[in-house]
Amino acid sequence: MWVKRVKTPFFDRSGRDRTSPHYVVRSAKLCALCIVATLCCASGAFFVPNTALIPLLLINAALLGHGRYLGGRVRGLLLLFATQLLITSMLYLLLHGVERLHEGGLAVTRIMLAIIPGWWLSIVCTPQRIGEVLSWCLPRKWAFVMAASFSLLPYMAKETREIYQMQVMRGANITAKALCYPKHWPELIYCVLYPLLIQLLKLSKQMALAAKLRGFGSHKRPTHWPD
């Protein structure tokens, strides 16, 4: 079998410790196949004609279902899709009118079809397996950076949610109702995106320092953490 069942701690809203099953790819070769499939699906979202979008939609729906079954959260993807669709539709209405509104929806759909495979890959493959596969064709430092970026996705999603909730509690006009008005968009950038960028830069510096203290880069063939 190429999947492994792992018990990881999970805390519900009441604070009780529960376990949720997660399945991760154990083999580096199968992880490489997942990466290739992800690249094909993500690039196909931009290059396939409109007539071939229906099969691609079915494939991404299967990836969504599989990722949700393994414990992935679909709520963030749905929120991203709704936000992009709202902003893009308003821009198309202002610039082109109702006649080309369907083109905005199609553009947002293609963007989401490019995002879903990467989301699925971050669930089924661990960062150390991704880094091991990327080190086959990339310099080890580049492979480390890309694998670390995948591992940061859940953390950054949590940080974004916490920053957003704190800013709403402080009275910022960044609720879903307030963001329907373009005059509140700069406040979203100032209250959420700027603090998130600062947090990301701080975390990147900490990771670089940790890698340096552990002697990363001192060996030509670094080892990878086993599952």
DSSP 8-61: EEEE-TT--EEEEEEEEE--HHHHHHHHHHHHHHHHHHHHS-GGGHHHHHHHHH
Tokens of 85: 């669709």
Does pTM surpass 0.75?
A: no
Residue 227 is predicted with a pLDDT of: 60
Q: What is the pLDDT of residues 31-90, one digit of tens each?
A: 899 999 999 999 988 888 888 889 999 999 999 999 888 888 888 788 888 888 888 888
Q: Which of 3-17, 18-32, 119-133, 186-200 has the lowest mean pLDDT?
A: 3-17
For the chain, domain boundaries: 21-125, 144-217
Residue 225 is predicted with a pLDDT of: 64
Q: Which residues of 33-45 are buried (b: 16+ CB within 10 A; e: fewer)?
A: ebbeebeebbebb
The yes-or-no verdict on residue 113 having pLDDT over 70 is yes
Q: Which one, of 156, 75, 151, lies nearest residue 118 by Cα?
A: 151
| Residue 97 DSSP class | -
Q: What is the pLDDT of residues 171-216, one digit of tens each?
A: 888 887 887 787 888 888 888 889 988 988 888 888 888 878 877 7
For the beta carbon of residue 7, count every other beta carbon within 10 angstroms: 9
Distance of alpha carbon 202 from alpha carbon 60, whole angstroms:
34
Distance of alpha carbon 85 from alpha carbon 37, whole angstroms:
26
The answer to whether residues 127 and 227 touch, using CB atoms and an 8 Å cutoff, is no
